[in-house]
Amino acid sequence: MTKERKKAEILQAASKVFYIKGFEGTKMDDVAKEAGIGKGTVYEYFDSKKQLFEEMAVYNCEEHGRNIQDILEKDGSFKEKIRALAKYQAELVREHMPIARMMSCSKIMAREMGAIFIEQNIRVGEIIKKQVVQAIDQGEVRADIDPEFASVAIMGTIMQHCGKKVIFAEAMPEEADYDKIVQVLILGIGNEAG
């Protein structure tokens, strides 16, 4: 097994353990046990639990970006892609809610971690912007729409709605109204007569 693959396995194991036990409750022994390796092997890759957590967050952000790219590059209409993206976001929020809560309430959410998430949002915005440009070229989106503003509107609407539904209303991802998200994003909220 390559060193990269072993590191990925440790990061995946860490995700599970941090999810269940939280940052403070997680021990490097727990991560090693979940990964099926010795604690010394974990320390060959990570100097501390904090470093492991930070690299796990980066790893998960990168995986999130790849997943979004995969969703948006599948065949289908722009509306179908927006709906699929919203569904993915709701499922992601639900799946990672304990880690998000832990990070928002803990000292481990350092400025560097915030920067990681901001960078990830910028990358995701670029992926969405590329899809908006493609949708404009295919006539699915009006030609006068600014792709940058459209990508921000799409991300913001999806993240706000899914976060509110899943985190605060504690709804299951399948309870989010994805068709309404698509309707607002594609048709807009303005009234030409008004």
Instruction: Give yes or no: residues 151 and 106 share one domain.
Output: yes
Instruction: Give yes or no: residues 75 and 10 share one domain.
Output: no
Residues 28-66: tens digit of each pLDDT:
999 999 999 999 999 999 999 989 988 988 898 888 889
134 pLDDT tier (thresholds 50, 70, 90) = very high
In single-letter form, the type of residue at position 90 comes to A
21 pLDDT tier (thresholds 50, 70, 90) = confident
65-69, 103-107, 143-147: the lowest-pLDDT one: 103-107
pLDDT of 133 > 80? The answer is yes
Instruction: Give yes or no: residues 177 and 84 share one domain.
Output: yes
- Total domains, the chain: 2
pLDDT greater at residue 180 or residue 133: 133
Residues 172-194: tens digit of each pLDDT:
777 778 888 899 988 887 766 55
Instruction: Give yes or no: residues 13 and 34 share one domain.
Output: yes
Instruction: Give yes or no: residues 135 and 154 share one domain.
Output: yes
pLDDT of residue 105: 56
Nearest to 180, CA basis, from 76, 86, 90, 75 = 86
Q: What is the CATH number of the domain that holds 65?
A: 1.10.357.10
Instruction: Give yes or no: residues 70 and 166 share one domain.
Output: yes
Instruction: Give yes or no: residues 15 and 65 share one domain.
Output: no
Residues 100-116: tens digit of each pLDDT:
665 555 555 555 666 77
5-9, 106-110, 120-124, 135-139: the lowest-pLDDT one: 106-110
Instruction: Give yes or no: residues 88 and 131 share one domain.
Output: yes
pLDDT of residue 64: 87
pLDDT of residue 99: 64
Mean of per-residue pLDDT scores for the chain: 85
- The parent domain of residue 83 ranges over 50-187
pTM confidence score = 0.77
